[in-house]
Amino acid sequence: MNFYMPVKLYAEENCVTRHAAELASMGKNALIVTGKSSARRCGAFYDVTGALEKYGVSWVEFAKVEENPSVETVMSAAELGIREGTDFVIGIGGGSPMDAAKAIALMIKHPDKDWTYLYDGSQDSSTIPIAEIPTTAGTGSEVTAVSVLTRHDKHAKGSIPHRIFAQLALIDGKYVAQAPAGILANTTMDALAHLYESYIHSKATDYSRMCAEAGIRIWARSKDVILGKREAVPEDFMNMMNASAIAGMAIAHTATSLPHALSYRLTYSANMAHGKACGYFLPGYLREADPRDVSHILAIAGFESIDELEAYYEKTCGRDDVPKEILEETIREVASNEAKCKLPPYKVDEDLIRRIVYGK
């Protein structure tokens, strides 16, 4: 067993301001990678630029990262960073900007390479320095080595083979305080999927399960907020962010499993939010696992049964009717992927995947 978590993480109120000097010390000219507007709406963008300017660090902004970022977007941002002479990258946002920031930092480090370098795992994975500031409570990308990108040429999304950790993560619950209820539901469902998939995994160890169990306990503290049973307080938002980060630590050691593998087709072809797509398959995944393990992790989160988890998902995220052709396509894709089929701690074949997908 090994436990490796190289990201230096701070999680506290006014985190960026408190650690402005450390953030600014990462370079002389930052490329700030964001989505179109969320980083500004939540205030994280202004905290970051204020921190940089206080210490005389210049910056350039790339604010064009779409949901499920594409290879083309990564290359466009890298070209900007190279042209402007940036020497570190700051990702601000949910999983899309933070995942993109890792890939962008890789390509800036290797300016003579084209986009195919992203998918050549035999090549050098070194990057310019990376800082990540999450503004959603689901992805955990700030502490994982994963960068999930969309390949429009293949009509699919998936992780690049390079393992890329940030050097610094700055986590502040205030950045999710104004998030709509639907965003909180979908992103916290993603965090729960990370935690459950990591625990029920062929690569699970005592150390990874330590993270998963801790993350589930923290996640459960704010479950009633997501259900609409009580109003949130600032501590809830910090709990959501911490649960997401710890879930990221868990999957950094195991990877995700079948619910995530199955979800990618739904996000690409059915335009379903990522966390919601993972939650779509989570009950079916748990029904195939050891009942003792499942009962244990359900109880930590305050669920009495898989049916209660499924009811929670339907109440908070909703359950869309997905066209059968999309479900059949994702079944074929995952069933034919030997590596994906080795992720669960139980034998996987197409019949089992069908039971997960259709609940039969």
pLDDT digits (tens, 9 = 90+) for 66-77: 999 999 999 999
Report which residue type is found at 311.
Answer: A
C-alpha count within 13 angstroms, C-beta hemisphere, residue 300: 20
CB atoms within 10 A of CB 25: 14
What length does the chain have?
360
Which DSSP helix (H) or strand (E) runs through 247?
helix 234-254
CATH 1.20.1090.10 positions along the chain are 180-358
The answer to whether the CB of 84 falls within 8 A of the CB of 29 is yes
CATH 3.40.50.1970 positions along the chain are 8-174
Architecture of the structural domain at 8-174? 3-Layer(aba) Sandwich (3.40)
Token pair for 299: 């109880």
Residues of the chain with pLDDT under 70: 360
CATH topology of domain 180-358: Dehydroquinate synthase-like, alpha domain (1.20.1090)
- Predicted confidence at residue 360, as pLDDT, reads 65
CA of 211: how far to CAs of 156, 183, 195, 248, in Å?
30, 24, 8, 9
DSSP 161: S
Q: How far apart are CA 86 and CA 32, in angstroms?
A: 10
The answer to whether the CB of 101 falls within 8 A of the CB of 69 is no
Q: How far apart are CA 211 and CA 201, in angstroms?
A: 13
The answer to whether the CB of 38 falls within 8 A of the CB of 68 is no
CA 120 to chain CA centroid, Å, is 22
CA of 328: how far to CAs of 154, 279, 292, 335, 358, in Å?
17, 18, 31, 10, 10
Q: How far apart are CA 239 and CA 63, in angstroms?
A: 28
116 CB contacts (<8 Å, ≥6 apart)? none
DSSP 119: G
SS (H, E, C) 41-74: HCCHHHHHHHHHHHCCCEEEEECCCCCCCEHHHH
Q: How far apart are CA 96 and CA 11, in angstroms?
A: 20
CB atoms within 10 A of CB 233: 12
The answer to whether the CB of 131 falls within 8 A of the CB of 91 is yes
The answer to whether the CB of 277 falls within 8 A of the CB of 148 is no
Per residue in 231-265, pLDDT (tens digit) is 999 999 999 999 999 999 999 999 999 999 999 99
Q: How far apart are CA 287 and CA 346, in angstroms?
A: 11
